[in-house]
Structure 1
Amino acid sequence: MILIKKNHWLTFSIIKRKEWVQESQFLSGAHDSQIALWDVSKPSTPIQLFKSHNGIINDLSHNANATSIFGSVANDYTAQIQDTRSSLEDEPAIQIRYSHHQNSILFHPDIPTLVATGGKDNIVSLYDLRNTNEPVRKFFGHVDSVVGIKWDNIYDPSSLISWGLDNRVIIWDLNQLDEPFTYPTNDANETNSRRKAKQAEDPCLKFVHGGHTNRINDIDIHPKLKNVFITAGDDHLLEIWKPKTIIVEDDDQEEKKKKLETKKMPIMNKKMMKKLKRTPKMTLPVGIKMATPKMKRTKMLK
């Protein structure tokens, strides 16, 4: 066992997050707002300290494709990208400001410039580090704080999974990013049903799992069975589940179906014919005559 006992551990601060960087190195973030880089061969002193945050460190993520880069989020309304090659411990390489605290951050497993965050604004945000002025995309679907995000790095890296205090797990499909989508508004006059309708229109929203009755704490993906997930929550439940696929017809298919049904419909039914026969007088255009129906004569019974 290795005991770490200096700096933010000296203040008896709770170490909230840790992240392995290499086989013998890892990062830790604590309630004292500091992030430390450690080597297990020298547990008495951290290799490097990062002091650019001003709040509790909520999450850390190491960039697997750029080993000197890691990201962090804290209770100071920021997400920060740090470079371990830098000598500036009080200044991040990149800083993104939010209107709410962020709870989670995660780099894409294959694309080094792509990073996702989730926070108390109920939103999952996707950023390209080459331009962090605006997110590449925001994902609306949660109705309470997002507490965790995970990429499907086993089967489909284009799938992003998020979960939160609303007892939901949502799977987002990044293959649909090019599809048009309008962000929902914060109009106070808008009803909840209208907001839900707008959220459902997001082409990236692939699946929502709502089986838990309390907050979800973690999720994992089965290493051999595709699309099989396990979740754990504060409802004392472990749930193993698989998303259900529903085939939805697009507008073109529905229009073709309507036209086909129209062709099959009879021009007039029997009730309509009887009604027309009872009509006393009908005004017809000039030159058009109505044919007089031939009535069958019946023999009178004696």
Structure 2
Amino acid sequence: MGGEGENTAVDLTAGDPADVENDNDRIITEEFKIWKKNTPFLYDIVMSHSLEWPSLTVQWLPDVSSLPDKDYETHKLILGTHTEQNEQNYLMIATVNLPKEDTEIDARKYDDERDEVGGFGGVDNKIEISVKLNHEGEVNRARYMPQNPFVIATKGPHADVCVFDVSRHPSVPANNTVRPEHRCTGHTKEGFGLAWNPHKEGGLLSGSEDMVVCYWDLKEAGKTVAATRQWKGHTAIVSDVAWHCSKPTLFGSVGDDKQLLIWDLDEAKDAPVFAVPNAHEREINCLAFAPHSEFLLATGSNDRTVALWDMRNLSQKLHSLEGHRGDVFQVQWCPLDETVLASCSSDRRVHVWDMARIGEEQDEEDREDGPPELLFIHGGHTARVEDFSWNPNMERTIASVSMDNVLQVWQVADNVFNEGNEDEEEPADDDLE
């Protein structure tokens, strides 16, 4: 398994709170130093960018632009702000310059001045905020509509879901007015669950703290849009919602009631078609349907595990991915590798898993690093990782955001990702801390 280097586990449950906090800070600093020293062996690219405020959300946009005389291409990210007190919040678009596939990159050392590994072409300002739209309160979640990526839905500290068409707004706000194109009503509390239907333009799902799942059809909608449907099968906060990747009317929801519920938009009754009570031992925070399999889905929980499920038999989980040391906030399948998914956690880590490696034999030393399916641990964050996103246009590349205002864009080294191939040269153990 590739990862951060030495894992450090210390019991911080006893003692003076101030001492515990100091010890924790010391451990985090030491772990980060070890991670930074090992980055040249573990990554082809690492870029770290300090944001003015933390972002609770991140998502790659699908479009990429490039110029023939440049050795890089420009990707885009959706971000948000989580400001303090009366500071203005924003929905933001960032540009990220990444090397073209055939560009020679230098991953021999971590560049402290640039906060990166994988220097290429001397390109400055590799990550820049290019668009800012005023937003009411912090941006809990922001997701673009697949059929028109200029259209972005957001959830914040208020009950309504806001929908912005970025193409209709200036790149810098003229004043403090918040002007979404649509305001979607139906919830009574805030939340994080948000998902566009990949098969139907304008089909938007939301789950919130009011225990309700709402659906809107925005294709011919006006300024204020009432929910077309509401489902009330949960008995606690609805943490996340997600559409099935190949069945246009099927979707799932999870919540603090530990339930995994599967719904069908075509069903007249407002009842789930499948229900899994106690799908985890603790609250469930996220779910994702596999894009390359009509039966496979994953859920992440405060019980520190990611569970794999087969929709043909939801009476028991297929497998439990164990390795996180904190609540699992997000899970996403890799769009370019059908057996790979990733998860992020309050333990400051992003884990990359490979289903194809489940059950592989391990020696004692490998077992200490985690189960065989734990392909990689990203240890570059020094605070809880709120969200991450796989780049759909670049292999092995993820953007992740943490509560310490940091955005990181990183590409797992090819030889680490494809470890076990005879043609790949692996770093020697002596090279790693």
Q: Does the alignment reach a TM-score above 0.5?
A: yes
Write the deviation string for residues 66-97 of structure 1: whole angstroms up to 9, x where unpaired: 111101111111111111111221x3111122
Write the deviation string for residues 261-302 of structure 1: whole angstroms up to 9, x where unpaired: xxxxxxxxxxxxxxxxxxxxxxxxxxxxxxxxxxxxxxxxxx
Higher relative contact order (CA 8 A, sep 6+): 2
Aligned to 1:35: 213
Write the deviation string for residues 25-59 of structure 1: whole angstroms up to 9, x where unpaired: 11111211111111113454322111101111111
Aligned to 2:236: 55
SS of equivalent residue, structure 1 residue 147: strand
2:407 to 238, 246, 250: 238
Percent identical residues: 27
Asked if structure 2 preserves the Cα contact closer than 8 Å seen for 1:140 and 1:199, the reply is no
Letter in 2 for 1:65: S
2:371 is equivalent to residue 202 of structure 1: yes
Asked if structure 2 preserves the Cα contact closer than 8 Å seen for 1:158 and 1:173, the reply is yes
Aligned to 2:97: none
Aligned to 1:127: 309
Q: Distance in 2 between matches of 1:137 and 1:211?
A: 27
Letter in 2 for 1:23: E
Write the deviation string for residues 170-195 of structure 1: whole angstroms up to 9, x where unpaired: 110111235369xxxxxxxxxxxx9x
2:256 is equivalent to residue 87 of structure 1: no
Q: Distance in 1 between matches of 2:252 and 2:344?
A: 20
Q: Distance in 2 between matches of 1:118 and 1:77?
A: 10
Asked if structure 2 preserves the Cα contact closer than 8 Å seen for 1:147 and 1:164, the reply is yes
Q: Distance in 2 between matches of 1:175 and 1:138?
A: 14
Letter in 2 for 1:229: I
Q: Distance in 1 between matches of 2:368 and 2:327?
A: 16
**Aligned-pair CA distance for 1:235:** 1.8
2:253 is equivalent to residue 72 of structure 1: yes
Pick closer, same or farther for the CA change 1:101–1:197 going to 2, 3 Å: farther
SS of equivalent residue, structure 2 residue 184: coil
Asked if structure 2 preserves the Cα contact closer than 8 Å seen for 1:30 and 1:57, the reply is yes
Pick closer, same or farther for the CA change 1:201–1:20 going to 2, 3 Å: closer
1:109 to 287, 291, 296: 291
Larger strand percent: 2
SS of equivalent residue, structure 2 residue 234: coil
**Aligned-pair CA distance for 1:220:** 2.4
Aligned to 1:16: 192
SS of equivalent residue, structure 2 residue 192: strand
Pick closer, same or farther for the CA change 1:70–1:199 going to 2, 3 Å: farther
Letter in 2 for 1:138: S
1:166 to 341, 344, 347: 347
Pick closer, same or farther for the CA change 1:109–1:223 going to 2, 3 Å: closer
Letter in 1 for 2:303: D
When normalised by structure 2's length, the TM-score is 0.50
Letter in 2 for 1:111: S
Aligned to 1:148: 330
Letter in 1 for 2:394: L
Write the deviation string for residues 10-38 of structure 1: whole angstroms up to 9, x where unpaired: x3x11432211221211111211111111
When normalised by structure 1's length, the TM-score is 0.70
Pick closer, same or farther for the CA change 1:92–1:223 going to 2, 3 Å: closer
SS of equivalent residue, structure 2 residue 309: strand
Letter in 2 for 1:212: H
SS of equivalent residue, structure 2 residue 317: coil
Pick closer, same or farther for the CA change 1:237–1:131 going to 2, 3 Å: same
Note the 1:255-266 alignment, pairs <5 A.
none
Letter in 1 for 2:192: K
Q: Distance in 2 between matches of 1:166 and 1:176?
A: 23
Ranges in structure 2 where 5+ consecutive residues have no aligned partner? 1-180, 423-433
Aligned to 2:282: 100
> Which one has a bigger Cα radius of gyration?
1
Q: CA RMSD in A?
A: 2.4
Write the deviation string for residues 215-256 of structure 1: whole angstroms up to 9, x where unpaired: 112222334432222211112212222224455799xxxxxx
